[in-house]
Structure 1
Amino acid sequence: MSRTRITAAAIGLAGALAGSQAQAQSASNSDQEIALLKQQLKMLEQKLDKLQNQTAANTAAAAKARAEAKAEAKAEARSEAKAVVANANAAFPVKGAPPTAGVIVTMPNNRPTICTSDGANCVAITGRVHWDVGGYDYRPNTASTVPQKLDSGENVRRARIGLAGKFFNDWNFALVYDFGGSSDGFGGAAPGSLPGGGVSGLENAYLSYTGLKPFGGRMAIEAGIMDLPYTLDEATSSNDIMFMERASPGVVATNIAAGDFRSAAGARWFNDQLWIGGYVTGPSTGAIHSASSAAPAGTSEQYGAVARIAGNPISGKDYSVHIGADAQWLIQPPRNLIANTQTVTLSDRPELRLDPTTLVSTGAIANVSGAQVYSVEAAATYGPLILQGEYFWYNVDRTANTGVPLVGAPSLKFQGGYAQAGYVLTGETHTYNAANAAYNGVKPAHPFSLDGGGWGAWEIAGRFSTIDLNDQLASANGVAGGRQNVYTLALNWYVNGNIRFMLDYLHGTVSKQTLPPTAFANTGSNFDAVAMRTQFAF
């Protein structure tokens, strides 16, 4: 029994020891598991910190991207706001970004311009000076030729300063005064003239609405004192014409009821290929008119109308073709209430303004009830080459019932035209201005500069013009206004976008005779002239 008890005790002790060892082993395993869990927890905490840092970095990057995008949008808005009206007659600016506070000052083509930051409202200072110097070799045919001499010298042809701009994108305006014409007017104290005979005055004072865009084009409704885009030569800015003066046939036509300084109201519609416009016109600025015969000159206002259709039906990268037709009507001639007469005079100087004397003139045509001018125009460009020409037919009606006897006086008919060509030696082209249906001037690709720049643009040009103001010479009521032919050669240097020098040589012949034309004595003249213009404009 004792051996059995000993054996049982031994077995029991062995079991106890085994249980104790198992518990110890179990405790050891628990510690390892705890340590492993702690390690995993630490790794999770590290991952969490890393995720938090990454999230913070992403948030900062997103905020930076938003700030950069906002800055870029503001820059684009400022860039759009820099666009201003192209010129006083053809400004159709593109609408800018949504309104923001502040203004922007820019200098497009060196023209000081102030715009609101949304580009909807702009005011620009505009100006031009054309200063001419030259001389004549004038040779009258007879001792009875009038005049016997032309005066050489200088003339501030144009000296303009003013404002141009827009309101609320669609309302365009201009207010420009011309101080030029130091020897450009006619002698005496004529209405609107300065001492010495130079004519100056309000050149532009108009308002134009451009908010309508019917039939896929653009439209302007305008009124005030303006330069009417009547005829191709007149629709071309005086800053861009190839010669110092426009051809006489066009000048004679525009002086009847169109031209510069003219009061007018009308509209024009255009797209890239077609231009259509019509205006009613009144007197020019400076003309004194009154219904009272006691007023100075005692002359009532005149009224007329002009219409033009023109276009650029063929065009490509380096070529274009322009065609058009024009009409003008003098509906109510100016009436002198003191003398009870209605007269019209057709005349022009010999395509130079150093001397204000006219060489061809109809004189005051009496009993005028109206007048009409019809013309055609054409032009083409091919690279640096430009061709241009116009022809005019004038008709003067003499049926007015003014109480001044004029027996057997049918309508008078005159005509004239010009053809010209230019070639830019440095390769630039005359681009097309759809807003006026005319051609722009030359913009040098490499403006002149002694500091590493170019030599500007150089252009040569030639023109022939003719006008015949004679009609019914065999009749006692005929008009012997004379016939004038002028040949002109020109060399133009476009220094940069603002400065140009022009050198013109003119050779002219004038054929005139007295009425009645029994002897047919030619009391005309011949002349040669050389003149230079210094021009700057902005």
Structure 2
Amino acid sequence: MSRTRIAATAIGLAGALAASQAQAQSASSSEQEIALLKQQLKMLEQKLDKLQSQTAANTAATAKARAEAKAEAKAEARSEAKAAIANANATIPVKATVPPSGVVVTMPNNRPTICTADEANCIAITSRLHWDVGGYDYRPNTAETVPQKLDSGENVRRARIGVIGRFLNDWNFALIYDFGGTSDGFGGTAAGSLPGGGVSGVENAYLSYTGLKPFGGKMAIEAGIMDLPYTLDEATSSNDILFMERASPGVIATNIAAGDFRSAAGTRWYNDVLWIGGYVTGPSTGAIHSASSATPAGTSEQYGAVARVAGQVVSGKDYSIHLGADAEWLIQPPRNLIANTQTLTLSDRPELRLDPTTLVSTGAMANVSGAQVYSVEAAATYGPLILQGEYFWYNVDRNANTSALPTGLPSVKFQGGYAQAGYVLTGETHTYNAASAAYNGVKPAHPFSLDGGGWGAWEIAGRVSQIDLNDQLATANGIAGGRQTVYTLALNWYVNGNVRFMLDYLHGNISKQASPVSSADVGSKFDAIAMRTQFAF
């Protein structure tokens, strides 16, 4: 019912009431009729209120229904639109996933490296530069001492550049050339070498297969020109050693049938605890072999072998203990095919390479048929502290039957060793390298930076080493090679992962007599200070 009709009805009732009242007045009606009319009016007012409430509710319900119908229509329209789009897309060919790029270029530790996307094939450029500068205060004991002077100055100890990499996941290779020309040589016997030094040349050129993984470890079968991980000191990279030079006892041992630039073939097996390896070795890259040339080129090739067992017997988060044993055999010494002689020289410079002169040397021992070196090694780390030491026993057989000495000579024996310690003042530690059974260098937690506020890592170290090349003194067939003792203090600054500065102070004492049968003093003493600038990647 509309509001107009309701109002009309009310007006009509009011008119009727008025007419009734007039009639009552004129007709003198009773009070009961008036009360009845009032009651009827009240009932009409209640009906009017009820009709108004019902009308409002109907209006709200109608609006809600219209809104719901509109929302439902919109949802249905959206659904129909999505279905249409899906049907349209179904008719369009789907593009295949875009494959990754053919090669990936990375710079691990600033070493340029190119790999295939699956990392099965990689090649990287590697280099190291060790530039030394320093001087000696050399004091010969007598005028008969040789030498009378050592030269101070500078020396490009190592200047290497080359490539390393792998292919088909399991094949590894290296080709590295050293332009430094002052590596540890074989007693200065190689053609073109300085006394006591090596020559520039191919330092690494090998192929290694690592596809076999027996007994829960990793295995490498390799051959070529390589730096063998024989002895703990030699297994430690020259980028990571605590001092500018390795200790003389180890250098003399490795020069017999191992060391840098050595041709070799062999295998090694290792896991996180144990390392076992063995190699047969040949001549170094600086040697020249010819049956018709004059001395020293007219020599046959030498052959030998090395073996090593070592491992990390105890290890934890910030500590470790390493033990090992090594053996080396010179099976066939170099033979001079012109003079029909076989000789071997054991010698080393005074743990510094600014001057190539050796201060202790057996000289060329004649009638050498072979040699053996046995050694033990031990090391430990505890947080920033590292301890390391090795001891060597050398035996040289002199029973070869040559035209110079057909009856041969008695064997001679020598010995030597070293002990060293290092402490990283900034708290870093030397981590363990299971692949070589040796310790890595320090990686600074906060590389030096004027902007970032880092100062790199700082380390102090000390070492004492001794080599005794005397045997059977006071006899004509004895060897008076001398006894050398060197004390070294070092301060190392690891600027970042690629740059290091080393400062070494050495004090040495060489005790030597003129000959096996002469006790005349031809020894010497020296102090030296040297600094190395090292860059490597």
For 1:336, the equivalent position in structure 2 comes to 336
Where 2:475 maps in the other structure, the secondary structure is coil
Change in Cα spacing, 1:188 to 1:282, as seen in structure 2 (3 Å) is closer
For 1:530, the equivalent position in structure 2 comes to 529
Change in Cα spacing, 1:269 to 1:45, as seen in structure 2 (3 Å) is same
The letter of the residue matching 2:532 is R
Change in Cα spacing, 1:406 to 1:414, as seen in structure 2 (3 Å) is farther
Residue pair 1:155, 1:184 contacting (<8 A) in 2 also: no
For 1:11, the equivalent position in structure 2 comes to none
When normalised by structure 1's length, the TM-score is 0.82
For 1:460, the equivalent position in structure 2 comes to 460
Change in Cα spacing, 1:162 to 1:516, as seen in structure 2 (3 Å) is closer
Shift of residue 115, structure 1, vs aligned partner = 0.9
Where 1:399 maps in the other structure, the secondary structure is coil
For 1:252, the equivalent position in structure 2 comes to 252
Instruction: Say whether residues 1:291 and 2:291 are aligned partners.
Output: yes
CA distance in 1 between partners of 2:418 and 2:238 (Å): 17
Where 1:350 maps in the other structure, the secondary structure is coil
When normalised by structure 2's length, the TM-score is 0.82
Deviations 1:67-104, CA, capped at 9 Å, x for gaps: 9xx79xx8xxxxxxxxxxxxxxxxxxxxxxxxx55111
Write the mapping of 1:71-90 to structure 2, written as runs, cut at 5 A: none
Shift of residue 293, structure 1, vs aligned partner = 5.0
For 2:20, the equivalent position in structure 1 comes to none
For 1:371, the equivalent position in structure 2 comes to 371
CA distance in 1 between partners of 2:187 and 2:311 (Å): 41
Instruction: Say whether residues 1:175 and 2:175 are aligned partners.
Output: yes
Residue pair 1:183, 1:355 contacting (<8 A) in 2 also: no
Where 1:239 maps in the other structure, the secondary structure is coil
CA distance in 2 between partners of 1:59 and 1:366 (Å): 95
Residue pair 1:181, 1:198 contacting (<8 A) in 2 also: yes
Residue pair 1:152, 1:355 contacting (<8 A) in 2 also: yes
Residue pair 1:182, 1:196 contacting (<8 A) in 2 also: no
For 1:109, the equivalent position in structure 2 comes to 109
The letter of the residue matching 1:427 is G
Change in Cα spacing, 1:523 to 1:110, as seen in structure 2 (3 Å) is same
Where 1:166 maps in the other structure, the secondary structure is strand
The letter of the residue matching 1:257 is A
Change in Cα spacing, 1:57 to 1:315, as seen in structure 2 (3 Å) is farther
Instruction: Say whether residues 1:448 and 2:476 are aligned partners.
Output: no
Write the mapping of 1:143-158 to structure 2, written as runs, cut at 5 A: 143-158=143-158
Shift of residue 409, structure 1, vs aligned partner = 2.3
Where 2:154 maps in the other structure, the secondary structure is strand
Deviations 1:237-259, CA, capped at 9 Å, x for gaps: 00000000000000000000000
The letter of the residue matching 2:374 is Y
Shift of residue 189, structure 1, vs aligned partner = 11
For 2:271, the equivalent position in structure 1 comes to 271
Residue pair 1:327, 1:375 contacting (<8 A) in 2 also: yes
Instruction: Say whether residues 1:140 and 2:153 are aligned partners.
Output: no
The letter of the residue matching 2:380 is A
Residue pair 1:464, 1:487 contacting (<8 A) in 2 also: yes
Shift of residue 407, structure 1, vs aligned partner = 5.8
Where 1:241 maps in the other structure, the secondary structure is coil
The letter of the residue matching 1:48 is E
Where 2:515 maps in the other structure, the secondary structure is coil
Write the mapping of 1:119-518 to structure 2, written as runs, cut at 5 A: 119-181=119-181, 191-193=191-193, 199-293=199-293, 297-405=297-405, 409-518=409-518
Instruction: Say whether residues 1:49 and 2:77 are aligned partners.
Output: yes
Residue pair 2:374, 2:393 contacting (<8 A) in 1 also: yes
Deviations 1:354-408, CA, capped at 9 Å, x for gaps: 0000000000000000000000000000000000000000000011011222767
For 1:34, the equivalent position in structure 2 comes to none
Change in Cα spacing, 1:397 to 1:182, as seen in structure 2 (3 Å) is closer
Shift of residue 468, structure 1, vs aligned partner = 0.3
Residue pair 1:131, 1:156 contacting (<8 A) in 2 also: yes
For 2:54, the equivalent position in structure 1 comes to none
CA distance in 2 between partners of 1:109 and 1:247 (Å): 28
The letter of the residue matching 2:384 is P
Change in Cα spacing, 1:145 to 1:315, as seen in structure 2 (3 Å) is same
Residue pair 2:480, 2:516 contacting (<8 A) in 1 also: no
**% of aligned pairs identical?**
82
Instruction: Number of aligned residue pairs: give it.
Output: 467
Shift of residue 41, structure 1, vs aligned partner = 9.4
Change in Cα spacing, 1:193 to 1:499, as seen in structure 2 (3 Å) is same
Residue pair 1:192, 1:200 contacting (<8 A) in 2 also: no
Where 1:115 maps in the other structure, the secondary structure is strand
Where 1:451 maps in the other structure, the secondary structure is coil
Change in Cα spacing, 1:136 to 1:469, as seen in structure 2 (3 Å) is same
Residue pair 2:494, 2:500 contacting (<8 A) in 1 also: yes
Residue pair 2:302, 2:332 contacting (<8 A) in 1 also: yes
CA distance in 2 between partners of 1:140 and 1:336 (Å): 34
Where 2:520 maps in the other structure, the secondary structure is coil
For 2:43, the equivalent position in structure 1 comes to none
After the TM superposition, which of the residue ranges 433-442 and 292-301 deviates more from structure 2? 292-301
CA distance in 1 between partners of 2:413 and 2:155 (Å): 34
Where 1:521 maps in the other structure, the secondary structure is strand
Change in Cα spacing, 1:535 to 1:270, as seen in structure 2 (3 Å) is same
Residue pair 1:155, 1:181 contacting (<8 A) in 2 also: no
For 1:19, the equivalent position in structure 2 comes to none
The letter of the residue matching 1:325 is A
